[in-house]
């Protein structure tokens, strides 16, 4: 009996070891009718080598992941003094203020775009990260804010500052209206509803020619003016974006620490338990959608003022995916992580611009590796206290 068991075990081990060769052989046979024997042989060699190497690397993945987790935990345990944090924050602020004096216009333009995406990602983080509501149509609020300012400015001649409250107010109202039918939905069903809303907005903008000029877009949008200072220059607009980005960070951080923020986190962790302890979950979901849409409207108005042109092509579904990737990359619910995620996903494609054909492949591969080794994001995994 023992000998039979040993023979069965050895045969299973041999089959397991031969599995990469069998997989490579199978794909090579499938490839044979299309490209011929030579190409099939090359594919067989490449696949066999790749599978063997990947299996050998995966054997070390667990140990590497444990070491990385230990290093990140050690970094988290390092406590900086209040004075060190004060110096670090104000040093970073001074660097950001002095940035236009040392960089070219191209880099300044990237910095402006990064600031707009930081505002967008922080707004989506309120819905997805704080409240746990998956929104795949967040770009619709971005588009509503941009087109509201564009129409008010080009059709009625209203400037940026009088238009800004109307733009963000209408966008927040749109978030509130979307949340009403979506209150009873969760998970995939909520994602489908928000995805449909985003596509509806894009199609309306693309087909309502009499109002939005359809695919041609709206041009001739005026940049902001303040006390005789025009923000047409990139350096001036950079400071405007910097002020709004810092204001967004401060306000969202304060709301996160407030009673409303704690209620959002409680809903994210367990909606049934939150309702049982007296939290009005439908009302707080409405707050989350409206508050997140508010910041998307602000980012949209800033985008329209900067580009001086808007069209439906700027507000596709892939923009929603990109903003969601920023939130996931940094870590759901983490404000510093979302800021870092926005910076990475705006700057990295520009760094890889010389490799035009492969930059999205490199970006996608990096995200896959991150999800394998850091599934909660760069700043994720931090426990949240729900004590008042």
Cβ count within 10 A of residue 90: 10
The structure's pTM equals: 0.76
- Domain range enclosing 45: 13-58
Gyration radius from the chain CA atoms:
25
Pairing relationship of beta strands 225-226 and 218-219 according to DSSP bridges? unpaired
Whether 1 maps to a domain, the answer reads no
| Structural contact between residues 355 and 362, judged by C-beta atoms closer than 8 angstroms | yes
Which phi and psi (to 5°) does residue 387 adopt? -75, 140
Asked whether residue 112 falls in the same domain as residue 35, the answer is no
Asked whether residue 356 falls in the same domain as residue 238, the answer is yes
pLDDT of 49 reads 73
Cβ-based burial of 1 (10 A; exposed 0-12, middle 13-18, buried ≥19): exposed
Tokens 């050690």 belong to which residue? 74
Whether 386 maps to a domain, the answer reads no
Asked whether residue 25 falls in the same domain as residue 149, the answer is no
195 vs 37, residue with greater confidence = 195
Q: How many domains does one find in the chain? A: 2
pLDDT in tens, 165-214: 999 999 999 988 888 887 777 778 888 888 999 999 999 999 988 888 88
Checking if the pLDDT of 61 tops 50, the result is yes
Cβ count within 10 A of residue 246: 14
Mean pLDDT score of the chain: 79
pLDDT of 31 reads 58
> Highest-confidence range of 4-8, 63-67, 225-229, 372-376, by mean pLDDT?
225-229
Q: In what helix (H) or strand (E) does residue 203 lie, and over which residues does it extend?
A: helix 187-207
Rounded to a whole number of angstroms, the distance between the first and last alpha carbons of the chain is 64
Asked whether residue 23 falls in the same domain as residue 108, the answer is no
Whether 366 maps to a domain, the answer reads yes
Asked whether residue 135 falls in the same domain as residue 39, the answer is no
Asked whether residue 53 falls in the same domain as residue 108, the answer is no
């Amino acid at each position: 009996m023992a000998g039979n068991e040993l023979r069965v075990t050895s045969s299973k081990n041999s089959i397991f070891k031969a599995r990469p060769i069998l997989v490579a052989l199978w794909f090579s046979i499938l490839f044979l009718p299309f490209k011929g024997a030579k190409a099939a042989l090359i594919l067989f060699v490449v696949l066999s080598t790749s599978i063997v190497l990947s299996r050998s690397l995966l054997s070390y993945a667990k140990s590497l992941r444990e070491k990385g987790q230990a290093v990140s935990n050690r970094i988290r345990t390092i406590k900086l003094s209040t004075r060190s944090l004060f110096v670090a924050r104000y040093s970073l602020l001074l660097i950001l203020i002095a940035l236009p004096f040392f960089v070219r216009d191209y880099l300044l333009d990237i910095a402006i775009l990064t600031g707009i995406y930081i505002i967008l990602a922080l707004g989506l983080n309120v819905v997805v990260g704080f409240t746990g509501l998956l929104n795949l149509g967040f770009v619709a609020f971005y588009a509503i804010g941009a087109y509201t300012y564009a129409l008010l400015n080009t059709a009625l001649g209203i400037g940026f500052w009088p238009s800004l409250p109307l733009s963000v107010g209408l966008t927040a109202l749109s978030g509130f209206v979307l949340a009403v039918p979506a209150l009873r939905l969760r998970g995939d069903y909520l994602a489908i509803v928000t995805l449909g809303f985003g596509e509806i907005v894009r199609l309306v903008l693309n087909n309502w020619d009499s109002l939005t000029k359809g695919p041609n877009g709206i041009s001739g949008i005026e940049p902001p003016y303040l006390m005789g200072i025009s923000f047409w220059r990139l350096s001036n607009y950079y400071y405007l974006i910097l002020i709004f980005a810092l204001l967004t960070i401060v306000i969202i951080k304060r709301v996160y620490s407030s009673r409303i923020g704690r209620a959002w986190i409680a809903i994210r962790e367990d909606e049934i338990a939150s309702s049982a302890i007296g939290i009005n979950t439908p009302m707080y979901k409405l707050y989350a959608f409206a508050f997140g849409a508010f910041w998307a409207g602000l980012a949209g108005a800033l985008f329209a003022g900067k580009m001086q042109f808007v069209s439906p092509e700027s507000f596709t579904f892939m923009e929603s995916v990109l903003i969601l990737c920023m939130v996931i990359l940094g870590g759901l619910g983490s404000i510093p992580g979302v800021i870092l995620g926005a910076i990475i996903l705006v700057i990295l494609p520009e760094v890889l611009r010389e490799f035009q054909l492969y930059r999205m492949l490199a970006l996608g591969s990096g995200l896959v590796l991150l999800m394998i080794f850091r599934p909660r994001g760069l700043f994720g995994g931090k426990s949240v206290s729900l004590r008042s």
